[in-house]
């Protein structure tokens, strides 16, 4: 058992018979006789719905163990993403909802961690940053203003990039927010094209 003040992103908990993954948790200590409170954002692992709630600091939760295994992405079909364990060749199908909006970034052979709850896949963990090639964008403009333009990357995803970025450049993408971070250094290798 753990208290709400011990909640951390990435944990899985059980509350009123439902399993949740903690997406965000922020503890605010109380003053005087007022107890602290934890503001948490949870995702139901069955229905995929989000729940934002404030919990008293002394409220207890049952922690649920998530098992992580490294898999390689194979392909996507019929609302499922198929992954294979490179060591055992076991395959698992993960629903698109469990993969999330980053599913469009998946490339064949991409290694990713898959989280399992009681033997059932519940989520896929993407790296925080991916280096991706710009497939299509407007010609570069070298100006001092901070205007952005759209650029197409893997999976047909469009992101806003600065005006100096051109087709063929490799950028670093903030995967959780699907936003441009910066241009990749030329001495690094492209991780996903």
- pLDDT for the residue numbered 92: 92
Q: 129-183: which CATH number, 3.30.70.2860, 3.40.50.1220, 2.40.50.140, 3.30.200.20?
A: 2.40.50.140
Question: DSSP secondary-structure letter at 187?
Answer: T
15/44 Cα distance (integer angstroms): 10
Which run of H or E residues covers position 170? strand 170-174
- pLDDT for the residue numbered 70: 93
CB 130 within 8 A of CB 181: no
**pLDDT 10s digit of each residue in the chain, 193 long?**
888 888 888 889 998 888 999 989 998 887 777 778 989 999 898 888 888 988 888 889 999 988 999 999 999 988 899 999 988 889 999 988 888 888 888 888 899 999 998 888 988 999 989 888 899 888 877 666 668 889 998 878 899 998 888 888 899 999 888 899 888 886 545 454 4
CB 30 within 8 A of CB 57: yes
Architecture of 67-125 per CATH?
Beta Barrel (2.40)
137/153 Cα distance (integer angstroms): 9
Task: Copy the structure tokens of residue 29.
Answer: 């200590």
Nearest to 126 by CA among 148, 111, 145: 111
- pLDDT for the residue numbered 189: 52
- pLDDT for the residue numbered 193: 43
What are the start and end residues of each CATH 2.30.30.30 domain in the chain?
Answer: 2-64
The dihedral built from the CA positions of residue 61, 62, 63 and 67, taken in this order, carries a sign that is: negative
What are the start and end residues of each CATH 2.40.50.140 domain in the chain?
Answer: 67-125, 129-183
Q: Tell me, which fold does domain 2-64 have in CATH?
A: SH3 type barrels. (2.30.30)
- pLDDT for the residue numbered 73: 93
What phi and psi, each to the nearest 5 degrees, are found at residue 105? -90, -5
């Amino acid at each position: 058992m753990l208290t709400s003040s011990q909640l951390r992103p990435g944990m899985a908990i059980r509350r009123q018979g439902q399993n949740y993954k903690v997406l965000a948790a922020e503890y605010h200590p109380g003053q005087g006789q007022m107890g602290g409170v934890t503001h948490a954002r949870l995702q139901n692992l069955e229905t995929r719905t989000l729940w934002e709630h404030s919990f008293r600091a002394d409220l207890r939760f049952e922690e649920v163990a998530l098992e992580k295994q490294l898999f390689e992405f194979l392909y996507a079909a019929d609302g499922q993403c198929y992954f294979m364990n490179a060591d055992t060749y076991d395959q698992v199908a993960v629903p698109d909802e469990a993969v999330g909006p980053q599913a469009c970034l998946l490339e064949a052979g991409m290694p990713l961690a898959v989280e399992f709850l009681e033997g059932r896949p519940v989520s896929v963990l993407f790296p925080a940053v991916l280096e991706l090639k710009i497939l299509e964008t407007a010609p570069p403009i070298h100006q001092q203003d901070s205007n952005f333009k759209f650029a197409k990357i893997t999976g047909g995803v469009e992101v806003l990039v600065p005006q100096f970025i051109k087709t063929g450049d490799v950028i670093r993408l903030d995967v959780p927010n699907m936003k441009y971070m910066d241009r990749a250094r030329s001495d690094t290798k492209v991780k996903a094209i």
